[in-house]
Amino acid sequence: MSCSCDAPFSNIGANPCKDLRKVARRFILVPEFDSAGDKNTIATIAGVTKSALQAKFDASAIADRWFPTPQFENVESIRADAVVQEFNSGKSAKVRDGVRSMTVFFPLQGNLWMGKLEKFECVSVGFYEIDADGNFIYSKCPTDDAVDPILIEDGTMDIEYINATDSEVSMVKMTFDIRLSEKDAEQRYIASSELDFDALSSSDLYSLYDVSSVNSSITTETATVALTTDFGVKVGGLLEGDFALYNITASSAVTIASFTESSKGVYVFTFTAQTSADVIRVTPVKAKFDFSLVVANTIEIP
């Protein structure tokens, strides 16, 4: 820690409110800066709400999103010994705190999911921590009331796939160092009882699924669109009102005449007749899904 000559002492009466933090169970990964270059943070404790967080999870630009992880196991959070200089006299002086490293394991998430997590190795990122009781842990800046993420040291994150054995399931291993500027004494938590959401619930805290599409049976008046996540799950249950069709060539909306889900995740459209070679954009809307790939996979009228 850094020392202050102005206020070298502090009263140390025992805390009557015991530290109720438990072992970490999941993270909300937060890019250090948003797409405008501003620091990602929450201005006050009162701003830590379900609606505010979900607005971050659902942000239209991926660079502005926050990303809750699944729950993990076998957590290790260890701070190395302080770096100490020893003098010829036999005395020693502390140079700096040791680095805190964290290791967590995500059971049964698989190689594809590991590849998604690997992308966070390349950016400056921090995290909010959710413990086993659903408490919300953050970094408290001494100079303001902001609820800051705990920052990860750039270049230290490593993601590894652990193969299954006769006695263990497959896992994804995540390791990183906490940035040296992050102080244990500046971490705080909001008790789960004070939150308006269940921080351990994937319904309240979630990351989006990427969805891709396959277009087929295209005529001047019909098209079939099959929607699937990259984990192979068909995206079913959408209604006609969840889709918008737009003729990019003619710069005009396309009216849907009829709509059916012929099988789970396979949607059949009929629409007003379009001109051959025109390009149609399909835009679905459904909570917890990212349809960017579907929007980009346009339909060309034959």
The encoded tokens of residue 231 equal: 């984990």
Please report, for the chain, the start and end positions of each structural domain, with discontinuous segments joined by +: 24-194, 209-300
Task: Look at strands 209-216 and 67-68 and give their pairing.
Answer: unpaired
Spatial distance between the Cα atoms of 142 and 54, rounded to a whole number of angstroms: 27
Residue with token string 């796939």:
161
Categorize the per-residue pLDDT at 18 as very low, low, confident or very high, splitting at 50, 70 and 90: confident
Please name the residues in contact with 159: beta carbons below 8 A apart, sequence gap of 6 or more.
114, 117, 118, 120, 121, 172, 173, 174
Phi, psi of 117 (to 5 degrees): -65, -30
Token reading at 217: 């049976």
Predicted TM-score (pTM) of the model is 0.88
Cα(85)–Cα(96) distance, integer angstroms = 10
Mean predicted confidence (pLDDT) in 84-95: 90
Mean pLDDT of 206-220: 97
Which of 80-89, 232-241, 260-269 is predicted least confidently?
Answer: 80-89
Residue 93 burial (CB count, 10 A): 8
- How far is residue 11 from each of residues 7, 14, 94, 128, 215, measured CA to CA in Å? 11, 9, 23, 29, 68
Long-range contacts of 152-155 (CB under 8 A, 24+ apart): 152/124, 152/125, 152/126, 152/127, 152/176, 152/177, 152/178, 152/179, 153/99, 153/177, 153/178, 153/179, 153/180, 154/124
Confidence class for position 6, pLDDT limits 50, 70, 90:
low
Residue with tokens 């953050």: 138
pLDDT (tens digit per residue) in 134-166: 999 999 977 778 999 999 999 999 999 999 999
Please report which confidence band the pLDDT of residue 300 belongs to, taking 50, 70 and 90 as the band edges.
Answer: very high
pLDDT in tens, 106-116: 999 999 999 99
pLDDT band at 2 (very low <50, low <70, confident <90, very high): low
Q: Is the pLDDT of residue 78 over 80?
A: yes
**C-beta separation of 235 from 211 below 8 A:** yes
CATH level 3 topology of 209-300 = Immunoglobulin-like (2.60.40)
Instruction: Name residue 289's beta-bridge partners.
Output: 209
pLDDT band at 82 (very low <50, low <70, confident <90, very high): confident
